[in-house]
Amino acid sequence: MTIPIRPIRPIQPIAADAAPRRLRIRVLRFNPQQPAVAAHWQTYELDDAAGMTLFIALGEIREKLDPSLQFDFVCRAGICGSCAMLIDGRPALACRTLTKNLATEFTLAPLPVFELIGDLSVDTGKWMRGMSERLESWVHQQEEAIDLRRLEARMEPELAEKIYELDRCIECGCCVAACGTARMREDFVGAVGLNKIARFRLDPRDSRSDEDFYELIGDDNGVFGCMSLLGCHDFCPKHLPLSSQIAFIRRKMVAIGWK
């Protein structure tokens, strides 16, 4: 099945007194609990409104038109990463997408790669936990026990900021859905995983060396699987510096591989 891709339209100002547009929202539907009903496109019509996001639009559809429609929202403020989906074929956070920036008719589909729960809901949680376990995405401390009564270990303020820059990832899955390699290699760690390695590599509290990181990502399911198409970078809703981080990590891993 191909999903039509439209160019993103520039923001159109809506006059306050103009009659609202009638939106036609085409949603790709399938419920794995009801395998007898084949995947199909379903169209919902509703009036556009000022400031309407896809969070508001989908809520209205479920409340007024179709209570069975499945999708995920949590924070509805662009910080929790629950609501990533394909909007006109492009991965994005639905809660942060204003309908005024979309055409009158547009499509919504679940993120690819992740296991489908139903309609627009996918299981990013399971995928991300698997990635975290595999890459051991936590600080590997030098000492087991720390004395919590003592002053905290110092860190240069600029370094803390650099770590936070990479720590801002919300694991929404947009980078994985936008990744060519992830479509071909089931076990590819994705930009989200490579960014984690970059983040922990930067952190002096983590005792792991580049040799240790090479064991985790020094293959085609890791950094060498990246084809540098960089859909991840283009579609990251937090604007993480993924292209430079992947290039940097690749260089570091190549250096280990040649030893």
Partner 1 sequence: MKIVYTDVLVIGGGLAGLRVAIGAKRRGHEAIILSLVPPKRSHSAAAQGGMQASLGNVVKGQGDNEDVHFEDTVRGSDWGADQRVVRMFVDTAPKAVRELAAWGVPWSRVARGDRQVIINGQKVTLAERDEAHGLLAQRDFGGTKKWRTCYVSDGTGHAMLFAVSDRAIAESITVHERMEAIALIHDGGRCHGAVVRNLVTGDLSAYVAKATTIATGGAGRVYRVTTNAVICEGIGTAIALETGVARLGNMEAVQFHPTAIFPAGILVTEGCRGDGGLLKDVDGHRFMPDYEPEKKELASRDVVSRRMETHIRKGKGARSRFGEHLWLDITQLGRAHIEKNLREVKEICEAFLGIDPVEQMIAVRPAQHYTMGGIRTDHTGQSPTLKGLFAAGEAACWDLHGFNRLGGNSVAETVVAGMIVGESIADYCDLLENDAAIATGLVREFVAAEQAGLDRMVSGGGSENASTLRGAMQDIMTAKVGIFRTGADLAAAVSELQALLERSRHIGVRGGGPGANPELVTAYRVRKMLKLALCVAHGAAERTESRGAHFREDFPRRDDAQWLKRTLATWKGDDHTLPTLAYEALDVKTMELPPGWRGYGAKDYVEHPDTPARTAEVQTLRERLREAPRFDVQHALMRYEDLLPKSLRGRNERIDEPLS
Binding residues vs partner 1 (CB under 8 A): 16, 31-34, 50-51, 53, 62-63, 67-70, 72-82, 96, 98, 117-118, 121, 124-126, 128-129, 132-133, 136-139, 141, 146, 148-157, 160-161, 163-164, 167-168, 170-171, 200, 203, 205-206
SS3 content of the chain, % helix, strand, coil (to 5): 35, 15, 50
What does residue 215 show for φ and ψ, rounded to 5 degrees?
-60, -30
Q: Could you tell me the smallest distance in angstroms from the CB atom of residue 5 to partner 1?
A: 22
Q: Could you tell me the smallest distance in angstroms from the CB atom of residue 60 to partner 1?
A: 10
Which is nearer to partner 1, 88 or 203 (by Cβ)? 203
Take residue 211 and report the two structure tokens written for it.
């040799």
Angle formed at CA 114 by CA 109 and CA 117, multiple of 5 degrees: 70
Which is nearer to partner 1, 3 or 139 (by Cβ)? 139
- Identify the three-state secondary structure at position 178: coil
Q: Could you tell me the smallest distance in angstroms from the CB atom of residue 259 to partner 1?
A: 28
Take residue 100 and report the two structure tokens written for it.
């005024």
Which is nearer to partner 1, 166 or 178 (by Cβ)? 166
Distance CA 30, CA 109 (A): 10
Q: Could you tell me the smallest distance in angstroms from the CB atom of residue 140 to partner 1?
A: 8
Q: Do the Cβ atoms of 248 and 210 come closer than 8 Å?
A: no
Which is nearer to partner 1, 23 or 122 (by Cβ)? 122
